[in-house]
Chains A and B, each alone.
Chain A
Amino acid sequence: MQRRAFVVLMTLGGWSGGSALAATSTAATSSAAAAAAAPLAAPVPASLATDPLQSPQWPGMQKRFFDGQTVVFDPRVTVVMPASAEDPLLVPVEVHVTGLADVEQLLLFADLNPIPKILEYFPSQAEPSLAFRLKVEQSTPVRAAAKTRDGVWHVGGSWVSATGGGCTMPSVASSEPIWQERLGEVAARQWSRPAGHSRLRMRIIHPMDTGLAAGIPVFHVDTVTISDGGGRELARLVLFEPVSENPVLSVDLKHQGDLRIVGRDTQGNPIDARVSL
């Protein structure tokens, strides 16, 4: 399925009219910018001048997501990705928040994606960390903003360079879509972790169409709520267009045992699954 989407991206101009290949030419510049950025030692008020990722798009991001709110660049929030995106449709992202109490919400966005907003995560009974895969149009900063109970947004991130490669290029073989018959199907498993916690990994069958490829309207998973056996919410995700097709999500819950995963997509199709240890 990813292959099919890749063909679309290549032939129809992808996200916004520029091809995925053309985008790779900015990689060297972006990497240079990333290399020039010094790691933060302590939180600093966020501005164009203090941006550790030196992204010209930061002011736009700040206005769009945090207008009128307090925002700091904070080294306690980290985004881990391979430096180079082997497949621009499948960039593995890992988010960590360490040493920051009372994180109520995570917001993920990519400055240079035509649709910057990636996902929101509400880890009420979970660690403020997660892993997923992302579609990128070109080299871009990927940021995680952690909102603490005092209303302050703590922002961390890193650059990913979107380069392909001769041997490295995935095949553009088409394959039969499984979305017709298995849409919303969840494959999931829970792993026991110390202190009564657990790792939940789930894969949801869904095309996650961005609406930017000609003739294919927006269609993606919207909310996913993870609850315990008694119906208490443990964590909630809201996904947006840039999350890779057939999303694979990893979260760390402060709970072990029966889980219910309930959600819907942008057309109201239900997602419903149960997981036990």
Chain B
Amino acid sequence: MSPLPPPPRRLTASGVRLAAAALVAAFATASPVVIEAARAQTSIQAPGAASSPKRIADGVWFFEGAREHFSRANGGDIVNTGFIETADGAVVIDSGPSLRYGKAQREKIREVTGRDVRRVYITHAHPDHFLGNQAYEDVPVEALAPTVRVIQRDGETLTQNLYLLVGGAMSGTIPRAPSPLTGLGPGGAASAGTSPRLGDATTVEIGGRKLRLIALAGHTAADLAVFDEQTRTLFAGDLVFFERAPTTPNADLDVWLAALAQLQALPYQVLVPGHGPVVSDGAAIAQTRAYLEWIRDTLTTAAAEGLDMNEVMRTRAPERLRRLAVLEEEWQRSVMHLYPAIEERSLPITTPR
């Protein structure tokens, strides 16, 4: 294969994302645009491989995914992942959607930092976040205990499904379950089966860098957030989406909203959402909250009025949410995910006992 220029999407995305660029400039000593341009001349971007990382704080970088659904064109690279440099090597947050992505991610981290990866944390059990684990079989990969269990149980199904959606970019990818983080969060290893404790946190020190690991839930049964104490950078995983409609296949809206309140209380200066641009203020959390509250209220009202699913799907989002990428699709999906349980509560049992 002859060297090709990188896909225009990446250049365009970095060019127009003014808010993100301004933010990056505020926190980085080197211009990320220059870094990306240099990288673009030397590497070929295969579909679904991790893009070039962008520096968002001192020693903190993120790989930005497309604000799209899975497709053959994007090869599954729709997710934000990141890493934090330490004296002992990088700490990676999420390994991405495929072996190809994970390998590219690890290679680029070596290029940027001159060191290898020391640890990988997986935020939750959705396949775009953990299927790069194969690239880290010689590195500790850890996640909350329920996340580990879901990957062990459903990993094959999730992987096959992603293959069908993105095709060849998944080549060679097989699910690898992380190890459970001990003593943290919902059903921590020492206490499997105990009830979730939202907001359990522990601080780990790796290569002189202190990272706060926070056990939350709501987007899925277990969602890990990683907070870098030094730069106050928060990797929020898919608890926070920005400018892209949140996904809800395993969501518990009330738990999710409680988790957002906990995240908002953290003294972060930079927030990396699971999907969408990095922010330095509360805008991403506020937008995620507004969307989830709209979903919850709309579905509850619809059930009380006796609507069926297709009728509910025709509800239009309020003006302030309409700019979110893939809004219509995600709203329809959310109705299918969440309405059955909500309508069930609106239908009283009428069979005589």
Given known A-B contacts A90-B336, A92-B308, A275 and B164 have beta carbons under 8 A apart: no
CA distance A62 to B250 in the complex (A): 41
Pick from B196-204, B256-264, B309-317 the stretch touching chain A. B309-317
* A17 vs chain B, min Cβ distance (A): 17
Contact B340 A90 (CB under 8 A): yes
B308 contacts across to A, CB distance below 8 A: 92, 94, 131, 201, 248, 250
A25 contacts across to B, CB distance below 8 A: 164
Q: Which of B76, B310, B349 contacts A166 (CB 8 A)?
A: B76
Pick from B49-57, B153-161, B187-195, B207-215 the stretch touching chain A. B153-161
A76 interface residue per 8 A CB criterion: no
- How many positions in chain B have a CB within 8 Å of any CB in the partner chain? 43
Contact B162 A172 (CB under 8 A): no
Given known A-B contacts A21-B164, A272-B352, A202 and B347 have beta carbons under 8 A apart: yes
Nearest opposing residue in chain B for A25, CB measure: B164
B332 contacts across to A, CB distance below 8 A: 82, 84, 86
B350 interface residue per 8 A CB criterion: yes
A112 interface residue per 8 A CB criterion: no
CA distance A153 to B50 in the complex (A): 55
Interface footprint category on A: 35 or more
CA distance A80 to B351 in the complex (A): 30
CA distance A185 to B349 in the complex (A): 7
* B161 vs chain A, min Cβ distance (A): 4
A164 contacts across to B, CB distance below 8 A: 161, 164-165
Contact B340 A166 (CB under 8 A): no
Contact B344 A203 (CB under 8 A): yes
Contact A166 B165 (CB under 8 A): yes
**CB within 8 Å: A-B pair count:** 129
Contact A82 B313 (CB under 8 A): yes
Given known A-B contacts A90-B340, A189-B306, A191-B306, A166 and B162 have beta carbons under 8 A apart: yes
Nearest opposing residue in chain B for A274, CB measure: B350
B70 contacts across to A, CB distance below 8 A: 165-166
What 0/1 readout, one digit per residue, does chain A (102-130) give for beta carbons within 8 Å of chain B? 00000000000000000000000000000
CA distance A87 to B311 in the complex (A): 18
Nearest opposing residue in chain B for A79, CB measure: B310
A184 contacts across to B, CB distance below 8 A: 351
Given known A-B contacts A21-B161, A165-B165, A81 and B310 have beta carbons under 8 A apart: yes
A163 interface residue per 8 A CB criterion: yes
Instruction: Summarize B's interface: helix, strand, loop or mixed.
Output: helix
Q: Which of B69, B153, B249, B349 contacts A170 (CB 8 A)?
A: B249
A234 contacts across to B, CB distance below 8 A: none
A199 interface residue per 8 A CB criterion: yes
Contact A166 B128 (CB under 8 A): yes
A87 contacts across to B, CB distance below 8 A: 336
Given known A-B contacts A165-B69, A187-B350, A171 and B310 have beta carbons under 8 A apart: no
In the complex, which residues 88-125 of chain B have their Cβ closer than 8 Å to any Cβ of chain A?
Answer: 97
A93 contacts across to B, CB distance below 8 A: 310
Given known A-B contacts A87-B336, A186-B350, A189-B346, A168 and B309 have beta carbons under 8 A apart: no
B67 interface residue per 8 A CB criterion: no
A273 interface residue per 8 A CB criterion: yes
A248 contacts across to B, CB distance below 8 A: 308, 340, 343
Nearest opposing residue in chain A for B170, CB measure: A166
A167 interface residue per 8 A CB criterion: yes
CA distance A199 to B346 in the complex (A): 14
Given known A-B contacts A82-B336, A169-B161, A186 and B150 have beta carbons under 8 A apart: no
In the complex, which residues 167-205 of chain A have their Cβ closer than 8 Å to any Cβ of chain B?
Answer: 167-173, 184-189, 191, 199, 201-203
B340 contacts across to A, CB distance below 8 A: 90, 248
B349 contacts across to A, CB distance below 8 A: 185-187
CA distance A94 to B310 in the complex (A): 7
A133 interface residue per 8 A CB criterion: yes
CA distance A190 to B311 in the complex (A): 17
B247 interface residue per 8 A CB criterion: yes
In the complex, which residues 145-189 of chain B have their Cβ closer than 8 Å to any Cβ of chain A?
Answer: 150, 153-154, 157-158, 160-162, 164-165
A5 interface residue per 8 A CB criterion: no
Nearest opposing residue in chain A for B349, CB measure: A187
Contact B161 A165 (CB under 8 A): yes
In the complex, which residues 226-277 of chain A have their Cβ closer than 8 Å to any Cβ of chain B?
Answer: 248, 250, 261, 271-275
CA distance A172 to B157 in the complex (A): 9
* B101 vs chain A, min Cβ distance (A): 13
A212 interface residue per 8 A CB criterion: no
A138 interface residue per 8 A CB criterion: no
B160 contacts across to A, CB distance below 8 A: 21
A10 interface residue per 8 A CB criterion: yes
B305 interface residue per 8 A CB criterion: yes
Nearest opposing residue in chain A for B313, CB measure: A82
A24 interface residue per 8 A CB criterion: yes
Given known A-B contacts A21-B160, A166-B70, A250-B308, A86 and B336 have beta carbons under 8 A apart: yes
Q: Which of A84, A133, A275 contacts B309 (CB 8 A)?
A: A133
B337 interface residue per 8 A CB criterion: yes
Nearest opposing residue in chain B for A270, CB measure: B351
Contact B309 A92 (CB under 8 A): yes
CA distance A189 to B306 in the complex (A): 8
Known: A131-B311, A166-B70, A187-B349. 8 other contacts (CB 8 A): A165-B165, A167-B127, A184-B351, A186-B350, A187-B344, A189-B306, A201-B343, A275-B350
* A and B contact pairs by CB, cutoff 8 A, 25 listed: A10-B157, A24-B161, A84-B332, A87-B336, A92-B313, A92-B335, A94-B308, A94-B309, A164-B164, A165-B70, A166-B127, A166-B162, A167-B247, A168-B249, A169-B158, A171-B154, A171-B249, A186-B350, A188-B348, A201-B308, A201-B343, A201-B347, A248-B343, A250-B308, A274-B350
